[in-house]
Amino acid sequence: MKILVVGGGGREHAIIKSVKQNKQVEVIYALPGNGGIANDAICVDIGAKDIDGIVRFAKENRIDYAIVAPDDPLVLGAVDALEAVGIPCFGPNKAAAIIEGSKAFSKELMKKYGIPTAKYETFSDESEALSYLEEITYPTVVKADGLALGKGVIIAADKKEAVSAVKSMMSGGMFGESGKRVIIEEFLVGPEVSVLAFTDGKCVVPMISSMDHKRARDNDEGLNTGGMGTVAPNPYYTDDVKEVCMNKIFLPTVNAMRNEGRTFKGCLYFGLMITKDGPKVIEYNCRFGDPETQVVLPLLESDLLTVMMAVTEERLADTEVRFSDRAACCVIMASNGYPEKYEKGYEITIPEEIKDQVYVAGAAVKDGRLVTSGGRVLGAVSTAEKLEDAILSAYKLVDKIRFEGAYYRHDIGARALACKGE
């Protein structure tokens, strides 16, 4: 089979390494891929948002199956465009990807179907948003409606910060069109859990739970990032929480989307907060999480491509999806300065014997050498029987990888380990 994977980050590298294990796979093309993915797939310089380019490439190369991994092409309708020329895909169509593409949509969906989430109001008019800020208690949360590279959320400690967030989004051009409509929502407190789930629109199969570490610095300090590391499973996702999530969140969401004529097929990501009133949805993503995928897929024992094709063909209920009971840890190594200004072009050295455990995100090949080309450069991933050992061995990998200005958090998994003693 000829497989095409749209995207070029650590998540795509994890997907490609997993899909490659299927013996029927002859070739994998990554559009655009990256310098590290080039070891596992043929990278083609077509951007993930270039839908026409992707479709043309897929047709010319007689692709048998396409996996669209990032949010942008999904929201732009890449799956619809590929299916229109007869190429089966993993990923939701445009109508369903709106669950991530518009927070106003997803909040409205949750309200309509009674799915637990933070209380909120949506505003398209800045003066109305500003007068609402007079009525509420603080802290509060201001969110851009559209896609904003995972950065469109501002936690405002007081009214002054909230006013500034609203103004910079609605009239200041921060996040462009995505920020012209905002959501102002209740600030929730509790540990966060990420659950990625396979769904074919009827059946929903949650994968092993995970915990992201979104802040740039140790002890959850510093700016929000795309994610500085992950562990799986997440110890806050107990059997009781799991059951509530299935009955009150996962199934109702999949059923709601079908009922709205927006059947969701692909990987639906539930960003949850376990509050004292039970689990609530913080956000939905229409795709695999990054860097959650880097700890979830190494624990998948079933064949990924087989499961993905069962999703596409709506046979998920008859397909086994089995996870190992081991634990995994991913430590992201970033360029110093990320998520703000950072330099690129530094040579990366990864010892040959650990390459299988490295998922490359922001790296390019220049003059035959692998060099840094992005903020999040790579993820070092390890699995073990016990979470503490997975963490220790992930950091041992980090010690063996070198590039100038490498920055990483030292406490990935610490909160998960502390919870185990609770």
Give the 3-state secondary structure of residue 363: strand
Distance CA(59)–CA(102), nearest Å, equals 30
For 346-360, give the DSSP string: -B-B--GGGGGGEEE
User: What distance lies between CA 155 and its chain's CA centroid?
Assistant: 20
Q: In the stretch 342-381, what mask flags binding to ligand GLY with x, by CB under 6 A?
A: ----------------------------------------
User: What distance lies between CA 276 and its chain's CA centroid?
Assistant: 25
Q: In the stretch 225-254, what mask flags binding to ligand GLY with x, by CB under 6 A?
A: --x---------------------------
> Is residue 290 near ligand GLY by the rule CB under 6 A?
yes
- Quick check: 265 and 312 in contact, CB under 8 A? yes
Stretch binding ligand GLY (CB under 6 A), from 90-98, 116-124, 201-209, 286-294: 286-294
227 or 413, CB closer to ligand GLY? 227
Per the structure block, which two tokens stand in for 348?
């990366």
201 or 226, CB closer to ligand GLY? 226
156: nearest Cα among 172, 147, 146, 168? 168
> Is residue 126 near ligand AMP by the rule CB under 6 A?
no
CB of 271 to ligand AMP, least distance (A): 5
CB of 108 to ligand AMP, least distance (A): 15
> Is residue 183 near ligand AMP by the rule CB under 6 A?
no
Distance CA(81)–CA(51), nearest Å, equals 7
Q: Which of residues 9-28 bind ligand GLY (CB under 6 A)?
A: none
Q: Which of residues 142-161 bind ligand AMP (CB under 6 A)?
A: 150, 153, 155
**Pairing relation of β-strands 42-43 and 65-68?**
unpaired
141 binds, among ligand GLY, ligand AMP, none (CB under 5 to 8 A by kind): ligand AMP
145 binds, among ligand GLY, ligand AMP, none (CB under 5 to 8 A by kind): none
If one counts every other C-beta atom within 10 angstroms of the C-beta of residue 277, the result is 9
Q: Which of residues 139-198 bind ligand GLY (CB under 6 A)?
A: 150
Q: Which helix (DSSP H) or strand (DSSP E) does residue 133 occupy?
A: helix 126-135
With the C-alpha atoms ordered 367, 371, 374, 379, is the resulting torsion angle positive or negative? positive
Q: Which of residues 197-226 bind ligand GLY (CB under 6 A)?
A: 212
Distance CA(389)–CA(359), nearest Å, equals 19
Where do contacts with ligand GLY occur on this chain (CB under 6 A)? 150, 212, 227, 285, 289-290, 292
Q: What residue ranges bind ligand AMP (CB under 6 A)?
A: 118, 141, 150, 153, 155, 185-188, 192, 214, 271, 282-283
